[in-house]
Homo-oligomer: A and B are copies of this chain.
Amino acid sequence: MRLPTVEDVARTARVSRQTVSNVINTPARVKPATLLRVQAAIRELDYRPNQSARRLRQQKSATIGIRLDPQLNGISGAVLDRFLHSLTEQATERGLRVLLFTAATPTEEIDQIRALRDGADVDAFVLTATFDHDPRPEWLIEQKIPFVTFGRPWGIDDLNDPQHRWVDVDGRRGVYAATLSLLDAGAERVAWIGWPPPTATGDDRRSGWEDAMRERLGLGDAELASLCTEVVDDVAEATNAVANVLAGAVLPDGMVCASDTLALGALIAASTAGRRDIPIIGFDDTPVAAALGISSVEQRLDQVAAGALALLLGPVGDSVVASGALDVAHRLIEPALVLRRPQDLPMFNPSRIDGTAAADKH
């Protein structure tokens, strides 16, 4: 049982192969009568162009490649998953396919990218999780392989390099908004629970908290430092660290965290200390945060995906354009603050346990 080809359609519709091709690719150039006849034949045979042949002919694959991270660290692992989903969905709408690959190290990733490109399997790549001194962008630019990164080029001065297309979430602004929401509610000692610097993403997020605290309360460096806790991204470690904070001299009346992992630790510590009333805001809006009623800063991954494709393909295109063809080569997405009230969940609140739990608005 062979799949029908242009030839079959042409024979059925009594036209030449090329007319069929025209009907599919440039229908405007075909006389309405024959157009209809050919389309009928296409439907009759349930014909679809063979993509391999089309790709070979057009010298492009209409496929973008993305690496699946090795082992996504803990609770925030779902972020890439959601991004992948948005990206696939929107790529499909634009007539592109998404091809997966894995690599344990940046070097290995480069090898994979080279293989994929050399095999003409992939037209462009989406890189995630950029970091300080990331070797990948430079190599890709040098190789003239189109790409876009989810994440800014950190540490280098080429934030505006048109060669390097990037989309990122404005973590600073998200944390700024989160902090303001606590200050607006009357908090005066909002603590920051973040990662030990230097981490590009973490430092950026912390600066949002700093800005808000400076602007609203006029705090100085020393005061900020006293409200700032640094701990690696681990629930147990965060629990310990925040417990110490809560046992300290200056009791915070709000906590903004660099991740939901830290926020979960903060929640556990606060609950244990009987201070479930201290509002906590995390980052990433993971399912865990939703399940536990923790407020969080949500990365709008659908917008990130849309931005990545727009940078790669142009506003409406369906094939990869050169990096110089766009006026802007980057996009900063504003995150959304998802506020949840602690009482949405009966955690550590025996009085509500027999009541009806509020549904999680997701």
Interface residues of A (CB under 8 A from B): 1, 3, 46-53, 55-56, 61, 63, 68-75, 77-78, 80-82, 84-85, 88-89, 92, 97-102, 112, 115, 118-121, 144, 234-237, 239-240, 243-244, 247, 261, 264, 268-269, 271-273, 287-288, 290-293, 344-350, 353-358, 360
Contacts and interface: CB of A to CB of B under 8 A. Distances in A.
B271 A236 contact: no
Contacts of A49: 119
Scoring A69, A82, A118 by chain B CB atoms within 10 A of each residue's CB, the highest score goes to: A118
Contact of A292 (B71, B235, B243, B247): B235
The 3 closest A-B pairs by CB, nearest first: A236-B357, A48-B118, A235-B291
8 contacts: A48-B118, A68-B84, A71-B85, A234-B357, A235-B291, A237-B357, A272-B349, A288-B288
A308 to B, nearest CB: 15
Contacts of A271: 348
Given A51-B120, A92-B101, A239-B357, 16 more contacts: A47-B118, A48-B118, A70-B85, A72-B287, A75-B287, A75-B291, A77-B287, A81-B81, A89-B102, A97-B99, A98-B100, A236-B293, A237-B357, A239-B353, A240-B355, A272-B346
Given A236-B346, A360-B236, A72 B77 contact: no
A125 to B, nearest CB: 14
A291 B353 contact: no
A119 B50 contact: yes
Nearest to A2: B59
Nearest to A104: B89
Given A89-B102, A100-B100, A236-B291, A273 B350 contact: yes
A249 B296 CA distance: 39
A89 B72 CA distance: 15
B74 A120 contact: no
Contact of A345 (B98, B120, B236, B287): B236
Contact of A118 (B3, B97, B344): B3
A47 to B, nearest CB: 8
B75 A357 contact: no
A264 B78 CA distance: 18
Contacts of A239: 345-347, 353, 357
A277 B16 CA distance: 78
A3 B117 CA distance: 9
Given A115-B48, A291-B236, A357-B236, A120 B347 contact: no
A38 B235 CA distance: 56
Contacts of A348: 268, 271-272
A83 B330 CA distance: 32
A4 B356 CA distance: 67
A100 B82 contact: no
A63 to B, nearest CB: 8
Contacts of A55: 52
A121 B100 contact: no
Contact of A50 (B1, B120, B247): B120
A195 to B, nearest CB: 16
Given A77-B287, A102-B92, A97 B85 contact: no
Contact of A102 (B85, B346, B353): B85
A89 B104 CA distance: 10
A233 to B, nearest CB: 10
